[in-house]
Amino acid sequence: MPVSDSMISGLIDLNRAGEQGLVAQLTGQLRGLIAAGRIAKGCALPSSRRLAGDLGVSRNTVTYAFEQLAAEGYLAASHGRRPVVTFDGGEPIEGTGVATSKARPATPRLSPWASKLKQTDWPMSYQAPLKPLRPGHGDFREFPNEVWARCLRRSAVRAARRELGPVNRARLREALAHYLAASRGVRAAVDQIVILPSAQAALTLIAAVLITPGDEVLVEDPGYPGAAVAFRASGARVTGIGLDRQGMQQMPGMAAPKLIFTTPSHQHPTGRLMSLARRTAFLGSSRPGRTWIVEDDYDGEFHYDSRPVPSLQGLDAHGRVFYVGTFSKAMTSDIRLGYLVVPPALVSTFEIAQRHIGLIASSHIQEALAEFITDGHFLAHLRRMRRLYHLRRDHLVDGLQRHLGEALTVEVPQGGIQLVARLKRGRADQAVVKRLVDAGVEARALSSLALGKPRDHGLLLGFAAWRESEISAAVRTMAACF
């Protein structure tokens, strides 16, 4: 039932110790009363002086609340007069976040893209806290935060003197072009390098630019679910290709798909390495002009047993390979920076697409990262982490072989941040993972990374993010679970 203006202050309950400020609380409560029809259209609210007195708040608090509600269309306010309610209890005014009893929940009609994203069972949710041996992470505790903070500070201080505008900062592009040429054999002119908030953003951008619904895309199976999701959501027919000892199997005489997604440096999830000979054959079997290749080098910085094999991108003579990288593994996942090396023929198209989709990384962070790389901190950090992760890989392999050798076959990856241990008996990796997670060891089921019917059952275990003592404790827990 509508209330009279004298009763309004009695319906307001402000919490001075609350997280929300008094203006926001008062605005929200008045809005709720109006939207619910308790304060009816045409009702004049108490004057700001009176309401402030009744509620024991400053007059400014009330005035700001009235101004906000007038701006949202709930009130008509004019100077020297009491504000009058203009909202008649229909649908709440968009953007004010008010649900009224009259608001009916409607089923939103989604685009085909969003509908496909919602169908996936890989939600990319960020789970916290991180528990041993969750795969996919480096050890962020080892990141040189003080050095990084100095780079960030200098970048912020210099901001006023910087040229405004370029979405992909020249200093970072140059630093990356040098680093990628020297360490991964990537051949890229600076304008081919697109700086993005993540590697996943690179996949979404590629899908948006290249995929027409119905196009065929080949991915590794088991593989990185984020890639299959990005291409499927754009309407591609995604087909899984099985693995052999060198990662993605070669398909002699395969038809010409629109795109092939591969992780040749450390196949995700198995860590298998595609040899130079296989890379050359791989490029030879896909048709330039018909098929694009996306090479995802998400953790290629970490190699332990041999020198890294040059990237597919650097070996390709036809300008058809996209090279994708990320700083989430090499630095910290919070840094939210990745990059994409675009084939020369697509540079201007990607420039437009990046601007319009708005996948633009902060200039402050880009400049800070450029300094972090050019001053040698990035390579120093990588060298240190390579040594540390190498020891941790060996420690986990040794622990698993010693304590779980009867239950698991460990695949020792030559690099990367995670490994696969196959179940020797049974094919129920999801049930094993549930038991392990309940006991505090965050393994991932290999079968959950299969595109269709799982071909393999096993555990994906991270080693890079965990100290040797943590790895030992996790292995003991695992042994108790088996």
DSSP output for 262-281: E--SS-TTT-----HHHHHH
Specify the residue, 61 or 418, whose C-beta has the smaller distance to ligand PLP.
418
The site string for ligand PLP over 214-243 (x = CB under 6 A, - otherwise) reads ----------x-x-----------------
Return the residue of 68, 311, 328, 366 that touches ligand PLP, per CB under 6 A: 328
Supply 154's token pair.
């200098």
In a 10 Å sphere around its CB, with 0-12 CB exposed, 13-18 middle and 19+ buried, how is residue 138 labelled?
buried
Phi, psi for 327 (deg, rounded to 5): -95, 5
User: Would you call 45 helix, strand, or coil by DSSP?
Assistant: coil
* Shortest Cβ 305–ligand PLP spacing (Å): 20
Q: Considering only the stretches 104-112, 140-148, 197-205, 281-289, report the one whose residues sit in contact with ligand PLP under the rule CB under 6 A.
A: 197-205
Alpha-carbon distances of 318 from 246, 279, 315, rounded to whole Å: 23, 14, 9
Q: Does 268 bind ligand PLP (CB under 6 A)?
A: yes
Q: Does 298 bind ligand PLP (CB under 6 A)?
A: yes
* Shortest Cβ 49–ligand PLP spacing (Å): 55
Cα angle, residue 48 at apex, residues 44 and 50 outer, rounded to 5° = 90
Distance CA 248, CA 273 (A): 9
* Shortest Cβ 229–ligand PLP spacing (Å): 11
The site string for ligand PLP over 105-144 (x = CB under 6 A, - otherwise) reads -------------------------------x--------
Q: Considering only the stretches 194-202, 315-323, 386-394, 403-411, report the one whose residues sit in contact with ligand PLP under the rule CB under 6 A.
A: 194-202
Query: Which DSSP helix (H) or strand (E) runs through 341?
Result: strand 338-341
Return the residue of 61, 263, 311, 366 that touches ligand PLP, per CB under 6 A: 263
Phi, psi for 448 (deg, rounded to 5): -75, -10
Return the residue of 168, 198, 246, 313 that touches ligand PLP, per CB under 6 A: 198
Q: Does 296 bind ligand PLP (CB under 6 A)?
A: yes
Non-local CB neighbours of 309 within 8 Å, separated by 6+ positions = 264, 265, 273, 274, 275, 276, 279
Q: Are 241 and 275 within 8 A, CB to CB?
A: no
Q: Which of residues 329-368 bind ligand PLP (CB under 6 A)?
A: 333, 338
Q: Does 444 bind ligand PLP (CB under 6 A)?
A: no
Query: Which DSSP helix (H) or strand (E) runs through 421?
Result: strand 418-423
* Shortest Cβ 202–ligand PLP spacing (Å): 8
* Shortest Cβ 326–ligand PLP spacing (Å): 3
Q: Which of residues 69-108 bind ligand PLP (CB under 6 A)?
A: none
DSSP output for 267-321: -TTT-----HHHHHHHHHHS-TTT-EEEEE-TTTT-B-SSPPPPPHHHH-SSS-E
Q: Does 271 bind ligand PLP (CB under 6 A)?
A: no
Specify the residue, 328 or 363, whose C-beta has the smaller distance to ligand PLP.
328
Return the residue of 246, 326, 354, 363 that touches ligand PLP, per CB under 6 A: 326
Report the interface residues with ligand PLP, using CB under 6 A: 136, 198-200, 224, 226, 263, 268, 296, 298, 326, 328, 333, 338
